[in-house]
Amino acid sequence: MAPLRRLLLALCLPAMLLPPAVPFPAPSTDWAACRDLSQRLSRLLGTMKESHRVLVSEDMEGECAPHIRCSDACDPSTLDTNSTLCLQRILQGLQHYQARLGSDIFATHPQPELKAVLEELLSLVQVPMRSCRPPPPPQADSWAQPLLQHGTLERLRSFTAVMSRVFTHGASTR
């Protein structure tokens, strides 16, 4: 047998022995795991003591704003029919907050636990990425850092509340 044929046969034989091709399932989001993680994130955020009650306003509007809006298809009935858009928005938010927690703003108060949970959630949400332009990072002058930390955590808290509801609903219907 010609070496090439032998090689091809050797390569293809295992494939021929497999049962007939089943369409490969696309990786799908593990809703229950996401629900549990987002609830853990909520609890972590809830236990953090913060002394600053002043919110620094940041320009958070724009296509990549890290909050979930009504138009993001995260309501229960849309979620049940097609969760893609909502999961894409959640993915964008998770990436945003992961970047924020890793930025200069948190240099003096790193948040390894929060980062770890965000990291895990990022690995679980399986949806094609929709790119968008993130809001520019705020100037992190050292005097402003505590305020920016606080603002980021406040926003992450409300983002997490919505995300948690989305995953809880999704996990209950899947």
The C-alpha angle with vertex 86 and arms to 29 and 41, in degrees rounded to 5, equals: 65
Residues sharing a CB contact under 8 Å with residue 105, sequence separation 6 or more, in sequence order: 137, 138, 140, 145, 148, 149, 152
- Say how far apart CA 132 and CA 130 lie, in whole Å: 7
Q: In the bound complex, what is the minimum distance in angstroms from residue 124's beta carbon to ligand NAG?
A: 19
Rounded CA-CA distance 110/104 in Å is: 9
| Closest CB 125 distance from ligand NAG, rounded Å | 15
The answer to whether the CB of 145 falls within 8 A of the CB of 105 is: yes
Is residue 78 a contact point for ligand NAG (CB under 6 A)?
no
Alpha-carbon distance of 171 to 174, in angstroms, equals 5
What residue number has its CB nearest to ligand NAG?
82
Binding segment for ligand NAG among 32-40, 44-52, 53-61, 82-90 (CB under 6 A)?
82-90
Burial class (CB in 10 A: 0-12, 13-18, 19+), 68: buried
Shortest distance in whole angstroms from residue 81 CB to ligand NAG: 7
Which one of 12-20, 34-42, 79-87, 97-105 is the stretch in contact with ligand NAG (CB under 6 A)?
79-87
Beta carbon nearer to ligand NAG, 82 or 158: 82
Of the pair 84, 158, the CB lying nearest ligand NAG is at 84
Select the residue interacting with ligand NAG from 8, 50, 76, 84 (CB under 6 A). 84
Residue 150 beta carbon to ligand NAG: minimum distance, rounded to whole angstroms: 35
Q: Is 85 in the site for ligand NAG (CB under 6 A)?
A: yes
Minimum CB separation of residue 30 from ligand NAG in Å reads 19
Cβ-contact 44, 97 below 8 angstroms: no
Which parts of this chain interact with ligand NAG (CB under 6 A)? Answer: 82, 84-85
